Amino acid sequence: MIRFFIAILLNLKRGPSLVSHMRKMTKHMDRYPEKVRYAYALRLIRYLMKSARITTEVFGVENLPTDGGYVMYPNHQGKYDALGIMYAHHNPCTFVMDKAKSYGFLVRELVDLLGAKRLALDDVRQNVRIMEQITKEVKEGKRYILFSEGGYDRNGNLVQRFKPGSFKCAMNAKAPIVPVTLIDSYIAFNSLKPGPVNTKVIFGKPIYYEEYNGMKTHEIASLVRNTIINTMEEHGVHDNTQSNPEILT
């Protein structure tokens, strides 16, 4: 958390300019195509990374589908997660986040700039409506980051339960599901560790509609979660082994 505030403080001078320009681009989206707005978002992310001394290693970019929309399902560790994925994902994408956390400094502007979705966690009807909007946009070619765990709570590299219902938007859009593995992402903005931080973003092989058609949502959730855990182990992270008493199955 301290690192997050340091990154914000070190960017206070350029903050007003960034905010002003993001608001301008949001207000005139017809003049600023998605690629231009996304490039500006990446500029902000790089400022924050440099200020907070964060390095992110990227793997599996070649696995990303080259055409059409898809939904990326990562494990959730902290505030840096979506930023790290976008840094690694050079084509425009957007994300879904908790509405209650979406109005902070620079966060509000980033959400609006990228057309991200605000999910009211205590409003079932709003959730259904948002998921329908995501389905429609994915069909039209948009790419989303959706955190199936629904939140994080000092879980570090421990992968929590994936909510089966979160996969319905991809299923209804008949779109590829891309497992995304995050390693040490929580250290960036959700720990007290001093010094430089290195995180990893690993894009897994997409699961196409032809592969998951006929599967139940809980089966898909289990498949994606297990894929992420296996990928972590391939990179030397074994927090999710059955011998760990904290594992959530």
pLDDT in tens, 204-240: 999 999 999 999 999 999 999 999 999 999 999 999 9
- Strand ordering across the sheet containing 177-183: 54-59, 197-203, 177-183, 70-74, 143-145, 94-98, 117-119
Q: Answer whether residue 160 shows pLDDT above 60.
A: yes
- Per residue in 167-180, pLDDT (tens digit) is 999 999 999 999 99
Q: Considering only 14-18, 115-119, 140-144, 168-172, which range has the smallest mean pLDDT?
A: 14-18
Check: CB of residue 181 under 8 Å from CB of residue 148: no
Q: Which residue ranges form the domains of the chain, and what is each CATH number?
A: 2-234 (3.40.1130.10)
Q: Which amino acid is at 26?
A: T
- Per residue in 77-109, pLDDT (tens digit) is 999 999 999 999 999 999 999 999 999 888 999
With cut-offs at 50, 70 and 90, classify the pLDDT of residue 119.
Answer: very high
pLDDT of residue 154: 87
Mean pLDDT of 39-45: 97
CA distances from 154 to 76, 150, 185 (A): 10, 13, 11
Nearest partner of 78 among 64, 97, 92, judged by Cα: 97
Nearest partner of 39 among 61, 15, 21, judged by Cα: 21
pLDDT of residue 249: 55
CA distances from 48 to 21, 37, 181 (A): 17, 17, 21
Check: CB of residue 173 under 8 Å from CB of residue 138: yes
User: What is the rounded radius of gyration, in angstroms, for the C-alpha atoms of the chain?
Assistant: 17
Question: What rounded mean pLDDT belongs to the chain?
Answer: 93
Mean pLDDT of 187-207: 93
With cut-offs at 50, 70 and 90, classify the pLDDT of residue 242.
Answer: low
d(CA 156, CA 86): 20
pTM score, two decimals?
0.93
Q: Answer whether residue 248 shows pLDDT above 70.
A: no
Name beta bridge partners: 94.
144
